[in-house]
Amino acid sequence: MISTRPNIGVRLAGTGSHLPENRLTNADLTKLMETNDEWIVQRTGIRERRKIDRAKGESTATLAAGALKNALAAARLNATDLDLIICATMTPEMECPATACVVSALVGAGHCGAFDLNAACSGFIFGMNTAHDLIKGGAYRTIAVIGADTLTELMDYSNNGRGTAIIFGDGAGAAIFRATDDTTKGILAQGMHADGEGWKEIYVPHEERDFPKGIACDTSKYGYVQMNGASVFKFAVGTFPELIQQTLDKANLTPDKIDMYVCHQSNARILGAARERFGIPEDRLYVNIDRYGNTVGASVPLCLDELVRAGRIKDGMKVMFLGFGGGLTWGSSLWQM
Ligand code: UT7
């Protein structure tokens, strides 16, 4: 990798997460639509997900702020130590201001920079790569990257939406990255990709012009995620192994040299297929989709936080982060911790 300041390394200083308490189990879903636990578990691996409670004031920003507070505590930092907050989300608090600005106010981060990044399920990966290279460039020393999403707000919990509504859940995770004199730490290889032609595979229509050519406008779909599940599944199963191989090749490493794979939790079957293809042992590719479903931008940092807290990601390890989803987007970030 070319770096403008080769004498600066980047380290992970702390992680945190925050989940709504309210659980939406597969049994709960059977009361809302024609579905069953067996179908959901077999097709996705999901048993329950979390759902925000608007009446309690929960939102993307409150989840994000909760995750950031926990990450700051783990890093033993104050909010005013942050130079920048990047919030990866496709379900922002509102159109303006950026959710990152609301979060900054909630945690008391003063005048640090704050902006949102929307790359759907790849958002946190794109955020990590951005934060790393901004620190490496020398202009920022401490950056918080948050992945926060509340997709349950965009679900049609009727039979019409059952193919999509069963997979998504709410949550937030955060990580703080800092400059270090240890130049061995930081990204060894990364990639950020998109195929804009694939936007029509996952979108949220709000008016007639939002529907792709050939799809009739249907006002009952306004405000709900429209996902071509089978097509996204095919894209993910093909792209995921390709992305792992490309990232390994860039770093000149073999799959067994990676201590942990931290992947977007989209579907347990997609993760299982990639694991088998590369002969990755089960304990090196983390799966928590059974407990949280697909939390979009939050899924990678939620896994990261659980792994760090369990002592399964430590200094000195090589960790590969992978994401793919709406856009269509896909990306990777391979770290020397
Ligand atoms: O993170 C963002 C990226 N998103 C993804 O990675 C999602 C990728 N896609 C998937 O994970 C899968 O496509 C889903 C889990 C969303 C759907 O699984 P599938 O195996 O692709 O199901 P399908 O949509 O092809 O539907 C198969 C059958 C259909 O019935 P028929 O036509 O075969 O009789 C559906 O009507 O299953 C039926 N079905 C359901 N049955 C029970 C669809 N949804 C449900 C449901 N419960 N919730």
Instruction: Provide the CATH number for the domain around residue 149.
Output: 3.40.47.10
Q: Please give the backbone phi and psi of residue 123, each rounded to the nearest 5 degrees, phi first.
A: -55, -45
Per-residue pLDDT in tens (0 to 9) along the chain, 337 residues: 444 566 899 999 999 999 999 999 999 999 999 999 999 999 999 999 999 999 999 999 999 999 999 999 999 999 999 999 999 999 999 999 999 999 999 999 999 999 999 999 999 999 999 999 999 999 999 999 999 999 999 999 999 999 999 999 999 999 999 999 999 999 999 999 999 999 999 999 999 999 999 999 999 999 999 999 999 999 999 999 999 999 999 999 999 999 999 999 999 999 999 999 999 999 999 999 999 999 999 999 999 999 999 999 999 999 999 999 999 999 999 999 9
Domain shared by 31 and 167, yes or no: yes
Indicate whether 79 belongs to any domain: yes
Domain shared by 150 and 67, yes or no: yes
pLDDT value at position 112? 96
Indicate whether 4 belongs to any domain: no
**Contact at 8 Å (CB) between 133 and 12?**
no
Active site (annotated) includes residue 112: no
58 backbone φψ class: left, alpha, beta (φ>0; ψ -120 to 50): beta
For the chain, how many structural domains are there in total? Answer: 2
Domain shared by 102 and 121, yes or no: yes
Indicate whether 3 belongs to any domain: no
Tokens 């406008």 locate to 217
Residue 108: how many other CB atoms lie within 10 Å: 11
Indicate whether 1 belongs to any domain: no
Domain shared by 161 and 260, yes or no: no
Q: Which of 126, 156, 180 is the last residue of a domain?
A: 180
pLDDT value at position 5? 60
Please tell me the residue having the least CA distance from ligand 1 atom 43: 163
CA distances from 200 to 221, 234, 242, 250, 284 (A): 14, 15, 22, 31, 33
H helix intervals, the chain: 26-30, 37-44, 60-75, 99-107, 123-136, 162-165, 229-251, 268-278, 289-292, 299-309
pLDDT value at position 4? 55
Active site (annotated) includes residue 121: yes
Q: Which of 152, 180, 208 is the last residue of a domain?
A: 180
Greatest CA separation for the chain = 58
Domain shared by 23 and 144, yes or no: yes
Domain shared by 173 and 199, yes or no: no
Indicate whether 2 belongs to any domain: no
Q: Which of 150, 180, 210 is the last residue of a domain?
A: 180
The domain containing residue 191 runs over which residues? 186-336
Domain shared by 175 and 199, yes or no: no
Indicate whether 85 belongs to any domain: yes
Indicate whether 203 belongs to any domain: yes
pLDDT value at position 262? 98
Whole-structure pTM value: 0.96
Residue 309: how many other CB atoms lie within 10 Å: 14
- Of 26, 263, 264, 303, which is the active-site residue? 264
Q: 157, 200, 267, 303: which to mutate for ligand 1, most atoms within 8 A of CB?
A: 267
Domain shared by 170 and 49, yes or no: yes
List ligand 1's pocket residues with C-beta within 6 A. 35, 39, 43-44, 121, 162-163, 166-167, 229-230, 232-233, 236, 266-267, 294, 325
Determine the Cα–Cα distance for residues 304 and 298; give it in Å rounded to an integer: 10
Indicate whether 62 belongs to any domain: yes
* Terminal-residue alpha carbon distance, the chain: 16
Domain shared by 242 and 94, yes or no: no
Instruction: Give distance in angstroms: CA of 229 to centre of ligand 1.
Output: 6
For the record, the structure tokens of 334 come out as 């391979």
Domain shared by 21 and 154, yes or no: yes
pLDDT value at position 1? 47
- Of 121, 132, 193, 303, which is the active-site residue? 121
Active site (annotated) includes residue 288: no
Domain shared by 136 and 263, yes or no: no
Domain shared by 54 and 172, yes or no: yes
